[in-house]
Amino acid sequence: MKHLPMYPVSVVGSWPRPEYLLSAQRRRSAELPALRERACAEALADQLGVGVDLPSDGEQRRDNFYSFLCERLEGLELLSMAQLLDYVEDKAAFEGLLRALDVPAFAIKNPTVVGTLKRRGSLVGGDLSFARRHSRGQVKLTLPGPYLLSRSIWVKALSERAYPTRESLNDDLVRILREELAELVAAGADFVQFDEPVLSELVFAGKSATRTFMCAALAAKSSPEEELELAVELINRVTEGISGPTLGVHVCRGNWSTQEDVLLSGSYGALMPTLARMRVDQFVLEYATPRAGPLEVLAKLPPGASLGLGAVNPRTTELETPEAVAERVREVARYVPAQRIYLNPDCGFGTFAERPVASRELALRKMDVLAQAAAILRRG
Ligand SMILES: [Zn+2]
């Protein structure tokens, strides 16, 4: 594994898509595979150009952070929220929710189980070898976490023939992600991040809230306590005995809108007992937004874990200053050893292809701030 400098600068995953890619996607162009590769190479070049140490391919092959599984797993189909309206149990409530959350029903697509799940091949192994050819050092791979999948892809009316209950799906999810990790270990992957944004919905949306986290939490849930327990169990089953790549978990409060007031808010303190029991190496957490609460709770991260510190907000056009970011990192170093702090944006810049929270230009400027902050910290 190639060496990372102190205060590595990284991303959470997604990068805004170029217009040629979006247009080819809409037209279902035959050129799409080649254009996706071009966009991935450009996203890597963009990040490397501003000094990102651990870049991603920008998730340019994905419509969103978990929808791409439809192309790589048998038994999954991509349905828009508009299509899903026909199948969700409480249609009026779901429609109202989409409106309240500032989400157009056509723009967000959800992978949905319609048959028995089976990998068609590697989920991201091909992405890794491509990214390696277009970067100088380590690259980050992102995968939807097992709990996210357990909550999002099972829609009773469509899924129950293959999996009568949501619980019956979980064993297959664990098996599929473990198969994938084993292959990534063999390929010498550097960093694999599991995205688990729905965890925040469990603790911040309130006990009575259901389906507040838009598409990524379609399945009805048990009590928050049981769901958090399940999330720990699932990730630990996936990562058990795996060594080689750095394994990360990303938890944020949603990234579908630039309107901060429609996104969830609450301290990570409520999630710390859950995170502390997850057997992973790094937690990638948003801290640029004030909605994330106080830094002190970071002291409760498991000893030895590193922190991907969200230090710039991808959803604001206002630019953070490198000095302020460096100061923030120094503050965080009171709770997490400095040698275990990575500098990240709070979340992706283009989680949803058709609905990025930032332009490419803004993403570049935000990442440049992080790189400058890292330079200040390394000097100091
Ligand atoms: Zn996020």
Do 271 and 245 meet the contact criterion of CB atoms below 8 Å apart?
no
Q: How far does the centroid of ligand 1 lie from the alpha carbon of residue 26, in Å?
A: 25
The CA 252 to ligand 1 mean position distance, Å, reads: 4
Give the single-character DSSP code of 352: B
d(CA 93, CA 168): 27
Tell how far the Cα of 347 is from the centroid of ligand 1, in angstroms.
Answer: 4
CA of 198 to the centre of ligand 1 (A): 9
What pLDDT was estimated at residue 340? 97
Q: How far is the CA of 284 from the centre of ligand 1 (A)?
A: 9
The Cα–Cα gap between 47 and 54 comes to: 9
- Count other Cβ atoms within 10 Å, centred on residue 30: 9
**pLDDT value at residue 103:** 65
Residue 99 has a pLDDT of: 72
Structure tokens at 179: 């198969």
Which residues share a beta bridge with 191? 140, 246
Residues, CB-to-ion distance under 5 Å, ligand 1: 252, 255, 347
* Three-class DSSP category at 265: coil
Half-sphere exposure of 247 (CA within 13 A, CB side): 22
pLDDT (0 to 100) of residue 214: 47
SS3 at position 1: coil
**Centroid of ligand 1 to alpha carbon of 360 (angstroms):** 17
CA of 259 to the centre of ligand 1 (A): 15
pLDDT tens digits, 278-314: 999 999 999 999 888 899 999 999 989 999 999 999 9
Could you say which DSSP state residue 302 is in? Answer: P
Rounded Cα distance, 97 and 78, in Å: 20
Cβ atoms of residues 342 and 7 within 8 Å? yes
pLDDT at residue 11 in the model: 98
Q: Which residue has the tokens 């009568």?
A: 164
Q: Cα of 176 to ligand 1 centre, how many Å?
A: 23
Q: How far is the CA of 164 from the centre of ligand 1 (A)?
A: 30
Q: What pLDDT shows up at residue 347?
A: 96
Contacts (Cβ under 8 Å, ≥6 apart) of 105: 80, 81, 82, 85, 95, 98
pLDDT at 85: 79
Pairwise CA distance, residues 221 & 347, whole Å:
25
Q: What is the Cα–Cα distance from 239 to 233, expressed in whole angstroms? A: 10
Q: How far apart are CA 29 and CA 10, in angstroms?
A: 32
Return d(Cα 272, Cα 255) in angstroms, integer.
21
pLDDT at 207: 46
Measured in Å, residue 233 CA sits from the centre of ligand 1 at 21
Ligand 1 centroid from CA 250, angstroms: 6
CA of 56 to the centre of ligand 1 (A): 14
Q: Cα separation of 88 and 159, whole Å?
A: 12
The alpha carbon of 30 and the centre of ligand 1 are apart by a number of angstroms equal to: 31
254 C-alpha to ligand 1 centroid (Å): 6
Q: Ligand 1 centroid vs 161 CA: distance in angstroms?
A: 32
Note the pLDDT of residue 217.
56
User: Phi and psi for 373 in degrees, rounded to 5?
Assistant: -65, -40
Longest dimension (CA), the chain: 60
CB 120 within 8 A of CB 72: yes
- Which residues of the chain fall short of a pLDDT of 50? 207-215
* Residue (of 101, 103, 78, 105) closest to 91 by Cα position: 105
Indicate the pTM of the whole model.
Answer: 0.93
Write down the pLDDT at residue 220. 61
- Cα separations (Å) of 304 from 8, 101, 279, 297, 312? 17, 37, 11, 16, 24
